[in-house]
Amino acid sequence: MKSKLLVSVRPIATRVAYVENGELRDFRVEKKGEHKSLVGSVFKGRVSRVLPGMQAAFVEIGLDRAGFLYVGDVRVDIDSGTPVIVTEENEESKQYEKTELEEKTPIQDLLTEGQHILVQIAKDPLGTKGARISTHVSLPGRYVVYMPTVNHVGISRRIEDEQERDRLKDLIDQYRPERGGFIVRTAAEGAPAVAIKADIEYLTRLYTKIYDDYKNRKNVGLVHSELDMDLRAVRDLASEKIDEVVVDEEEVHTKIQDFAKQFIPHLENKIKLYEEDEGLFDKYEIDLEISRSLGRKVWLKSGGYIIFDEAEALVAIDVNTGSYTGKKDLEDTILKTNLEAVKEIAQQLRIRNCGGIIVIDLIDMEKEINREMVMAALQEELSFDKARTNITQISELGLIEMTRKRIRPSLVKTLCQPCSYCDGKGYIKTPSTVAAEIFRELEREGIDAKKLSTTILVNEAVADWVYEEGSDMLEYMEQKIKRNLIFEVEKRFHVEEYRVE
């Protein structure tokens, strides 16, 4: 199983693609000149409003909009150095079960307006919403995640070997500082003790510096910034099994090499500078795959297709057989289409970075065993997803409901904007509908003895429809309101735009 991490750097954007066996598995982009992702960055904040009715608070952190802090993300020991005791944690969720005291304490007893607190951004600002923030700081390293505000050691669930889990837990217990907890990441599987020790020591020093900077800073604002997107991608995606990291820009190539030398030694000799004339993403056909993932319809190899409709907090996915007719019987055709579809859906969710509630409308299957096969296939594909997912069984209506953790904006929101013609609706009125609205407006106006004629400025498509297909309606209206109607073309008009002179 060959895997490559491709890093393409241009003055307008940095793009990173993770390719496995020739297929795009993950894609990230960060545009220059636009706000980069702030997830993981640490700020000194000031509580501006406490809302007991919502059990939340707004916190000024130096951005355009105040951060949103929910009571569940507030430490009970907000002004002390005592860690919270937790019971369950894993790399995928980055969540923990709170103590009974923390669960029941209302936010008005935890925070006061004007209070300064140390917060970390958990979700970027999105649309009109400010950033989602937390007082629980987590600092990711290559092999572990350090959580100075909790007191627990968790092992990634993707490390299944019990002996390896015990080894890693013993290493953390041996090297961990007096305060704080750790999550052991999947990348730590098989890692030498010296590398894990170095990771722990680095993250401990980093938090000490962050806390000192927070104390010394007088105003609200940034205390610690997360790594640039290219280095984050190398840290998170370049596993021990990766074959190559290919970079097409010399300065970034050197930066990644220096980063790998310090934090990921096994990767140092796998980092290659791409110097061919053909574009890096063109060589691996990444741009074609991205264009495919920006479309509403995604074709399957069999001839079936999937429809993606993305709303603010909901993604609806519809599976169709399309031109695929199968070879045996209808149930077999439906099963093969659904199996192919769930594999493609899992991949598209990663590439598109869809988040929130996701509803998948599969083609109805009569046999229970077939439904179980499709569910198992989807769960297997989602197991490769680094974002946390929760999935329900297929309902009686053939629907699968699931959630996927949203951290950064989706691919569509990153690379696209609402259509200036349809204003993001995804549809426009037909020329006949617009013409009917004009005729109704004229009819409401009624007879005007002072006018012999009326001129209506319209889009060319509307004028064509009136004179070619709507001539009977035009004649009827002229007789009813006792004047001539003249439709003139205004080329600058939107098809729904018109003006009665």
The 3-class SS string of 40-92 reads CCEEEEEEEEEECCCCEEEEECCCCCCEEEEHHHCCCCCCCCCCECCCCCCCC
Question: Vertex 23, ends 22 and 25: CA angle to 5°?
Answer: 135
- Give the model's pLDDT for residue 79: 54
Would you give the end-to-end CA distance of the chain in angstroms?
69
Pairing label, strands 116-123, 67-70: unpaired
Question: Vertex 401, ends 399 and 404: CA angle to 5°?
Answer: 145
Q: Where are the domains of the chain?
A: 3-35+244-286, 42-225, 295-415, 431-500
Sign of the Cα torsion 125, 73, 225, 93 reads: negative
Whose structure tokens read 């217990």?
A: 173
- Give the model's pLDDT for residue 255: 92
How many angstroms separate the CA atoms of 155 and 152, rounded?
10
Q: What string of pLDDT tens digits covers the 501 residues of the chain?
A: 688 999 999 888 899 999 988 888 889 888 876 667 788 899 999 999 999 999 999 999 998 899 999 988 988 765 554 444 333 344 444 444 444 444 578 888 889 999 999 999 998 887 678 889 999 999 998 889 999 988 888 998 888 889 999 999 999 999 988 888 999 988 888 888 888 888 898 899 899 999 999 999 989 999 998 888 888 888 888 776 788 999 999 999 999 999 888 878 778 889 999 999 899 999 999 988 899 899 899 999 888 899 999 887 899 999 988 776 666 678 888 899 999 999 999 999 999 989 889 999 999 888 889 999 999 999 999 988 878 899 998 888 889 999 998 767 788 888 888 888 888 888 899 999 999 999 999 988 888 878 889 999 999 999 999 999 999 999 999 999 998 999 999 999 999 999 998
CATH topology agreement for domains 42-225 and 431-500: no
How many angstroms separate the CA atoms of 36 and 34, rounded?
6
- Give the model's pLDDT for residue 56: 92
- Give the model's pLDDT for residue 103: 54
The H or E element that residue 440 is part of is: helix 431-445
Helix, strand, or coil here: 494? coil
Helix, strand, or coil here: 350? helix
DSSP 420: T
DSSP 2: -
Question: Rounded to 10 degrees, what is the CA torsion of 169, 171, 176, 180?
Answer: -20
CATH number given to 42-225: 2.40.50.140
Give the strand order in the sheet containing 153-155.
Answer: 139-140, 144-147, 181-184, 153-155
The H or E element that residue 119 is part of is: strand 116-123
- Give the model's pLDDT for residue 31: 83
DSSP 187: G
Query: What is the fold, at CATH topology level, of the domain defined by 431-500?
Result: Hypothetical Protein Ychn; Chain: A, (3.40.1260)
Instruction: Tell me if 338 sits within 8 A of 362, measured CB to CB.
Output: yes
